């Protein structure tokens, strides 16, 4: 549960589950409700109504969402459900028939209308104030910047397009205006998110829009370059490896945006990638990685993979490990294949047993842990700039430019308890393991 103290205005609680894109949806809903006079509260007992923003991507997320709905009903009783799982209304109502209203993903107006229906607003022109950057659920020093909704791909393991629709890019002037307001409000890091960040603008024909009176194309490269003009770290997530992604690497080398790419390669076997309906060109990916690092030696590469996909053989899994060895990725996440309701991959022959999936996942993570440890060990002795996320009694907890919040590693700075959250300081790396770094402040 999130945010603020209650007074005599109608009060809303929010449970936000799932990915950063869903978190942005929650922020938009809360911003609109706060602007209309609703108070935002932290605890079920203080809320007149609770909104649960769900995730429905994999079975574990579905179960977590259903449990969260049940908990909200038990402790409050008045619950509106939104988010990806909202596309499966019958399933929700079979478990929780007392839910007041169910809407789908990014259905902001429908959620607000449902709140109005069950908890009408009381307007007070003197107190209904919202900061220009809106309501944020992240710490003050970083924020997620969602640039589009939906996805045009039809990956066989994914049901996101059926829940969120095809790609719908926000106008670039609107995105840049939001980014500028966030930076003016004190945000030090902008994390660019969407379902398919590098496809940004294709649905709009890369239409020219305006930002601060100047023309800017609604396109991935131009957006990245314009964001690089702001006084903040800019981090790109969920970047599909289209050829034009090569064009942003020079921006990273010039220091305009962070030298960080989050690219979900998913697998290395050509056959498995074709079954996934993903680009089937591991050798091409390796050549591009090599070229990117030649242009920008400090580049950090993060990726995600699926092991145990239907039909995956031991030889194809070994092919994936070989790709890891040759690619030397910095940060990697992996999942054992989970059959998502409605995904076409569920109909593929020769499913991999749960035991083998788990065994391959363990081998995969151990293999990558050694690579990550080797790459992090190269940072020992280096001077790097970090962004402070937390200050504790022993010192400060921070991140380098190579680390995104929540998913990557941390830097522990002993004896730096005088720092403040959001500070940017230079440190010298003393020690590393496969995930994290230890450092002291540079003189």
H/E element, 29: helix 20-35
Q: How far apart are CA 158 and CA 162, in angstroms?
A: 9
**With a cut of 70, which residues of the chain have pLDDT below it?**
1-7, 123-137, 280, 282
DSSP readout, 189-229? EEEEE-SSGGGTTGGGTT-EEEETTEEEESSHHHHHHHHTT
Q: Could you identify the residue written with the tokens 């106008």?
A: 171
Q: How far apart are CA 24 and CA 27, in angstroms?
A: 5
Q: How far apart are CA 301 and CA 324, in angstroms?
A: 12
pTM: 0.74
Q: How far apart are CA 183 and CA 9, in angstroms?
A: 30
DSSP state of 311: T
Q: How far apart are CA 57 and CA 161, in angstroms?
A: 11
Closest by CA to 272, choosing from 326, 318, 324, is 318
Strands 395-400 and 300-307: unpaired
pLDDT for 124: 54
pLDDT tens track for 172-214: 999 999 999 999 989 999 999 998 999 999 999 999 999 988 9
pLDDT for 132: 61
Q: Nearest-5° angle of CA 169, CA 170, CA 173?
A: 135
Strands 331-336 and 300-307: parallel
CB atoms within 10 A of CB 281: 14
H/E element, 424: strand 424-432
Tokens coding 54: 């769900």
């Amino acid at each position: 549960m999130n945010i603020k103290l209650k007074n005599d205005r109608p009060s809303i609680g929010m449970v936000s589950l799932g990915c950063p894109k869903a978190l942005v949806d929650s922020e938009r809903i809360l911003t609109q409700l706060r602007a209309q006079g609703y108070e935002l509260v932290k605890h079920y007992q203080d809320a007149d109504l609770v909104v649960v923003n769900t995730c429905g991507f994999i079975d574990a997320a579905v179960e977590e969402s259903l449990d969260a709905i049940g908990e909200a009903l038990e402790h409050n009783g008045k619950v509106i459900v939104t988010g990806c799982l909202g596309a499966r209304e019958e399933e929700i109502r079979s478990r929780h028939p007392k839910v007041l209203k169910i809407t789908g993903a990014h259905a902001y107006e429908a959620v607000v209308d449902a709140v109005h229906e069950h908890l009408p607003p009381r307007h007070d022109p003197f107190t209904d104030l919202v900061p220009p950057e809106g309501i944020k659920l992240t710490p003050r020093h970083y924020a997620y910047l969602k640039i589009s909704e939906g996805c045009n791909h039809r990956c066989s393991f994914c049901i996101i397009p059926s829940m969120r629709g095809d790609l719908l890019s926000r106008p670039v002037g609107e995105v840049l205006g939001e980014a500028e307001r966030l930076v003016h409000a004190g945000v030090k890091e902008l994390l660019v998110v969407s379902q398919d960040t590098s496809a940004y603008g294709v649905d709009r024909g890369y239409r020219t829009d305006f930002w601060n009176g100047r023309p800017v194309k609604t396109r991935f490269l131009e957006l990245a370059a314009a964001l690089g003009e702001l006084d903040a770290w800019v981090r790109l997530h969920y970047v599909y490896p289209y050829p034009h992604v090569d064009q942003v690497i020079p921006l990273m080398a010039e220091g305009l945006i962070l030298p960080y790419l989050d690219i979900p390669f998913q697998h290395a076997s050509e056959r498995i990638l074709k079954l996934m309906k993903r680009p089937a060109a591991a050798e091409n990916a390796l050549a591009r990685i090599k070229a990117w690092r030649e242009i920008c030696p400090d580049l950090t590469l993060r990726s995600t993979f699926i092991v145990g996909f239907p039909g995956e053989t031991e030889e194809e899994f070994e092919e994936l490990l070989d790709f890891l060895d040759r690619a030397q990725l910095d940060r990697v996440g992996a999942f054992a294949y989970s059959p998502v309701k409605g995904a076409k991959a569920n109909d593929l022959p020769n499913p991999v047993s749960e035991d083998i999936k788990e065994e391959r996942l363990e081998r995969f993570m151990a293999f990558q842990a050694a690579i990550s440890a080797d790459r992090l060990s190269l940072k020992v002795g280096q001077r790097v700039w970090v962004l402070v996320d937390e200050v504790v009694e022993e010192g400060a907890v921070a991140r380098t430019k190579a680390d995104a919040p929540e998913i990557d590693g941390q830097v522990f700075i002993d004896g730096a308890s005088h720092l403040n959250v959001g500070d940017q300081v230079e440190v010298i790396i003393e020690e590393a393991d496969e995930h994290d770094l230890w450092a002291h402040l540079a003189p």
